[in-house]
Structure formats: structure tokens, C-alpha cells
Amino acid sequence: MKSISLTKLVEVMNLRNMTPEIDMTDCKITIPEINRPALQLTGYFEHFANERIQIIGYVEYTYLQHLDMETRRAAYEAFVSKEIPCVIFTTLTQPGEELLELAKKYSVPTFCTDKSTSAFTAEIIRWMNVQLAPTISIHGVLVDVFGEGVLIMGESGIGKSEAALELLKRGHRLVSDDVVEISKVSDITLVGTAPDITRHFIELRGIGIIDVKTLFGVESVENTHSIDLVIKLEEWNKNKEYDRLGLEEEYTEFLGNKVVCHSLPIRPGRNLAIIVETAAVNHRQKKMGYNAAQELYKRVQANLAKKRGDI
């Protein structure tokens, strides 16, 4: 199971640590969700998601302030004693001394941020979803072509890296060669990145390893990019029927998310870089509402209808 260290979260979110005495070295966050303990502060703990980060906003804070000291202390102790990972106060609110005392007693790290509850909640959930996203590693090359993340797949030695190199020469950007780590950051978005050890390197058979960032400059590489299109390279098979119109999209699936996929037959004389560029631009055009195959189909149908009318 993936996890985030609490110290990293504090650093990235720029939180003020109100309990520096508590050792956070082994504190890990494993769920990319938060909880606002409104009902819990009133004493209702059924279905309490105590494994989540707890955020106390202005509403919860003002409720606590309206309680007398003894009742407030009892409510907070019942809350922090449930083995919660941490508590974050937002919207310029700060925990009182009695709250900090109980937090130290039960070893619950407590933080503050000046950001509003809504803005901070959206930011921390987005960040945690990326950090804790389900991830797989696949064999392929990921390139940013005209803003579209194109994942080139195929058998070893078929020419994926060579196609990526030609795309780099034409001004596009490399994300990863050989191994692509794919993360599902949402139900519609897949993000690809390179393993740290191979980032910005390409392997070319007969030449060896080249450093793309050094040879072509920093503008030729990216650390991460969404995966918008998959190109599968395969050996030409004269007995196989290949799609020549593209009226119906084909898809491949990663981590439950579907991505448009094109199978490209490889034979001598085909310029893979130009074909990949064209596929990327055509895919982008489809997302903008224009499908050339459907337009041709409409023209053919209109022409047939016209001929029938003439008869």
C-alpha cells in the first residue's frame, strides 16, 4: 500500500506545527481523503473515519468556542483519543491550550494553516490523490506530442525508442523511455512518469544510452504527462485487416481507465514520427468535436441520397 509521510505533507502544504514535541518520523497517511469532525465533536462516533486526516474549520472551531471549558475538553478528548493521524486547523483558527495538551497526551500532531477550509480541502485532496494513486509499470515510451500524451507500445526492438528520438528532433518532449509508471489519479485521468533511475535517458540499440536532456536541452523533456492516446506498433501482417476509416474507436485499459488505442503496422519505408504526429493531432481534433471519418461518412451518405433523388 502506498503512503505519504506526515513530514512531507507538512512541508508541501506549508503547515505550522503546533505540537513540535510529537515525533512524526513514523507517521504515514494511506488514504487520500479528509474528515471534518462536526458530529464527532458532539459525541457521535458511529461510522467515524478516524483513519483520515481531520480538518477543523471555522464552523467546528466556533462550536468548540461556545462550549464551556469542561465540556470542550471532554469533547476534544473523546475525539483525539480515537487514534487519528493528525488534526489541521484552517481559516486562521488556532487550537486552545487545553486542546494542545490533549493532543500531546494522545500523540496527535496538530497543525494550522491560514488558508480557507474549502480551498485547503480541495488542495490537499488533489495532492494526496496524485501521491497515493494506484500505479503500474508497463513497457513502452511516453512522449508529449502537440500537448497530447502518446504512449508508444510494442515488442522489444520494434522501433519505439527510434520513433521517440525522431519526435524529439521534431520538437516534441520525452517523458519516459522503456519503462512508464502509470498512475490513476482519477476515474478519467491516467498520468505517466519515468522511474527516477531512467528519467531522461533513451536506449538505442547499436549506440547505447543517451541523455536526452543533455543532448537536446531541457525543453525536450518532461517529468510527467497525462496519457491521452496509445499507439501499438506491430509487425506488418498481410493477412490481417487493419482499420482504414476510423469510424469506431478502439480502446485499451489501464487500471480500469480506457484510453483510445491505434494499432500501427510496421514495414520498411513508413515514417513513424509523422504517423504518430498525425494520430496525436487527429485525436486532439476529435476531442474538439471534429471527426474526419464521420465527416466523410456523412458526405458519402449525402451523395448516395442525392443520386437516389436524381433517379
Q: Is 154 annotated as a binding residue?
A: yes
pLDDT band at 123 (very low <50, low <70, confident <90, very high): very high
Residues 6+ apart with CB under 8 A from 291: 285
Cell of 299: 458526405
* Active-site position among 72, 160, 172, 232: 160
Q: Is 157 annotated among the ligand-binding residues?
A: yes
* pLDDT-based confidence at residue 222 (cuts at 50, 70, 90): very high
Which residue out of 244, 267, 307, 308 is catalytically annotated? 244
CATH numbers and ranges of domains, the chain: 4-131 (3.40.1390.20), 135-296 (3.40.50.300)
For 175, phi and psi rounded to 5 degrees? -105, -50
Known catalytic residue at 244: yes
Write the pLDDT tens digit of every residue in 205-221.
Answer: 888 898 999 998 999 99
Whole-number Å distance between alpha carbons of 79 and 158: 59
Residues 6+ positions from 96 with CB-CB distance below 8 Å: 72
> What's the CA gap between 182 and 192, in Å, rounded?
5
- Of 135-149, 178-192, 228-242, the one with minimum mean pLDDT is 228-242
How high is the pLDDT of residue 311?
61
Q: What is the pLDDT of residue 45?
A: 93
Instruction: Tell me which of 16, 28, 73, 178 is the catalytic residue.
Output: 178
The arithmetic mean of pLDDT across residues 28-32, rounded, is: 92
**Nearest alpha carbon to residue 165 among 122, 195, 202, 123:** 202
Catalytic residue (one of 2, 105, 126, 139):
139
8 included as an active-site residue: no
Instruction: Report whether 203 belongs to an annotated binding site.
Output: yes
Give the pLDDT confidence of 124-145 residue by residue, as tens digits: 999 998 889 899 999 999 999 9
- 24-58 burial, b at 16+ Cβ within 10 Å, e below that, comes to beebebebbebbbbeebbeeeeeebeeebbbbbbe
- The pLDDT confidence band at residue 305, using thresholds 50, 70 and 90, is confident
Q: State the pTM of this model.
A: 0.77
> Was 155 annotated as part of a binding site?
yes
Answer yes or no: 172 catalytic: no
Task: Say whether 123 counts as a known binding-site residue.
Answer: no
| Measured CA distances, 13 to 35, 96, 113, 127, 224 (Å) | 17, 22, 8, 9, 21
> Three-class SS of residue 279?
helix
Residue 214's identity, in one-letter code, is T
